[in-house]
Amino acid sequence: MKILIIGAGAAGMMAAATIAESDSEAELCLIDKNAVLGRKVLISGGGRCNLTTAESDMRALMEAYPRGAKWLRFAMHEFSPSTVCEWFEAHGIPLKTEGVKVYPQSNKGTDVTDMFQKIFDNHNVEVLLNSSVENVEKDGDGFKVNERYFDKVIITTGGSAYSQTGSTGDGYAFARALGHSITPLAATLTSLTSSEPWIQDLAGVSIENAKFKLLGKEKHEISGPFLFTHKGVSGPGIFALSSLSAFEDFPLKLFIDFVPDLDYEALTKQISKNSRKTLLRALNAYAPKSLLAVIFKRLNVDGAKKSSEIAKKDLNRCIESLKNFEMPLDGRTPGAEIVTAGGISLKEVDSKTMESKITTGLFFGGELLDVDGFTGGYNLQIAWATGRLAGLSALGEEI
């Protein structure tokens, strides 16, 4: 049996490794337009490779997937984050956990791709890098690709995010040509932009924890850390918010609660306890001075005055700004998205095998599908889990 895997990213490498280590007689070919294996794996986690998440509760895990969570459940049960960790450690990659993120102890993404390369070398996998696929055609019971015949094809080309890594959406065209439909696509896990003049004054200011509410056609709420940039807002909390609102049209209104652990009444009491301090000093325990300066300027309040000297209505306005800071948003940072929302319709792919329900012998994995997750290893977890299922299923293995 001849099997072709198109796309040597996380899902493709895992599918190939699964097949290679199966002791089958399958002839395996892995092809990618890039010059190296796993381009996006190498840059994930800032180059440290955030392999997966340490989240062990299945319900909590699935809440990190705004699209495709129900469909993904089988794959996640079969190759859960903890099982993924065991697999990598068994293959010579010691891991460490930081919060709920899992990394190689070496902090090197190259260790991961080198490990896969070793598997491919040891099992005589034909790896074709710097090689493009022009089209994929159904040919009898198999497929014709680049003038070669294959019994099974696994497509794991990724979405269209990080186009510089080769994820240019080729897989969507291959899938369409083989009868599949593609749901609407959108950028996700991206920074959000604002043209407010004061944004420049806050560039580089980071907030450890805030609660966000984004108003569009729907209301989206989430909490997390973030930072201001020269052009808007970024960071994990904003990435998650951008994921939830991937299909919203701009402009949008963002409301930020900088003090989510205290309600209005508790915050008011804290200020009254520091009535002899300037308002700036009294509030500095809850927000950076540069942010307070922007708030005072917007409200025309003198933060150098003692809290006791500030009119009650102005104190209330300051508290309102800290708890419900309004920030207009005008778009997403172009070209900076980490993941693509949308993809091959899940109605057309068997969630227990990753095989096409339309074209026999065709399998998919990873970001190409209409599934995506928050930042923090959740998208690589999709790739490992779906890639492994696709590899096992292409061999005809019982799952």
Domain regions of the chain by residue span: 2-186+337-394, 192-332
Mean pLDDT computed over 266-289: 92
Q: Is the pLDDT of residue 364 over 80?
A: yes
| % of the chain with per-residue pLDDT over 90 | 90
Task: Categorize the per-residue pLDDT at 337 as very low, low, confident or very high, splitting at 50, 70 and 90.
Answer: confident
Task: Categorize the per-residue pLDDT at 398 as very low, low, confident or very high, splitting at 50, 70 and 90.
Answer: low
Rounded CA-CA distance 65/58 in Å is 12
Superfamily of domain 192-332: rRNA adenine dimethylase, C-terminal domain (1.10.8.100)
Mean pLDDT computed over 26-43: 95
pLDDT at position 168: 64
Q: Is the pLDDT of residue 8 over 60?
A: yes
Average pLDDT, the chain: 94
* Locus of tokens 């409200």: 299
Rg (CA), the chain: 24
| Domain at 2-186+337-394: CATH architecture | 3-Layer(bba) Sandwich (3.50)
**What confidence tens digit (pLDDT) does each residue in 121-147 have?**
999 999 999 999 999 999 999 999 999
Q: Is the pLDDT of residue 164 over 60?
A: no
Q: Is the pLDDT of residue 366 over 70?
A: yes
This prediction's pTM = 0.92
Contact assessment for residue 37 and residue 12, using Cβ atoms and an 8 Å cutoff: no
Rounded CA-CA distance 336/354 in Å is 29
Q: Is the pLDDT higher at 168 or at 94?
A: 94
Q: What is the DSSP string of 296-363?
A: HHHHT--TTSBGGGS-HHHHHHHHHHHHSEEEEE-EE-TT--SEEE--B-GGGB-TTT-BBSSSTTEE
Mean pLDDT computed over 5-31: 96
pLDDT at position 46: 87
For 335-344, 349-358, 365-374, which range has the lowest pLDDT when averaged over its residues?
Answer: 335-344
State yes or no: cis peptide before 225, omega within 30 of 0. no
pLDDT at position 31: 98
Mean pLDDT computed over 60-84: 97
Helical residues (DSSP H) of 32-169, grouped into ranges: 39-43, 58-62, 69-78, 81-90, 109-122
**What confidence tens digit (pLDDT) does each residue in 234-256 have?**
999 999 999 999 999 999 999 99
Return the DSSP state at 248.
P
Mean pLDDT computed over 90-113: 97
Task: Categorize the per-residue pLDDT at 165 as very low, low, confident or very high, splitting at 50, 70 and 90.
Answer: very low
Mean pLDDT computed over 2-9: 97
Angle separating helix axes 378-394 and 10-20, nearest 10 degrees: 40
Using CA atoms, how far residue 108 sits from 94, 114, 115, in Å, is 11, 10, 12
- Token output for 389: 């299922």
Mean pLDDT computed over 79-84: 98
Q: Is the pLDDT of residue 110 over 50?
A: yes
pLDDT at position 399: 58
Contact assessment for residue 26 and residue 87, using Cβ atoms and an 8 Å cutoff: no
Between the two ends of the chain, the Cα-to-Cα distance in Å is 19
**What confidence tens digit (pLDDT) does each residue in 318-334 have?**
999 999 999 999 999 88
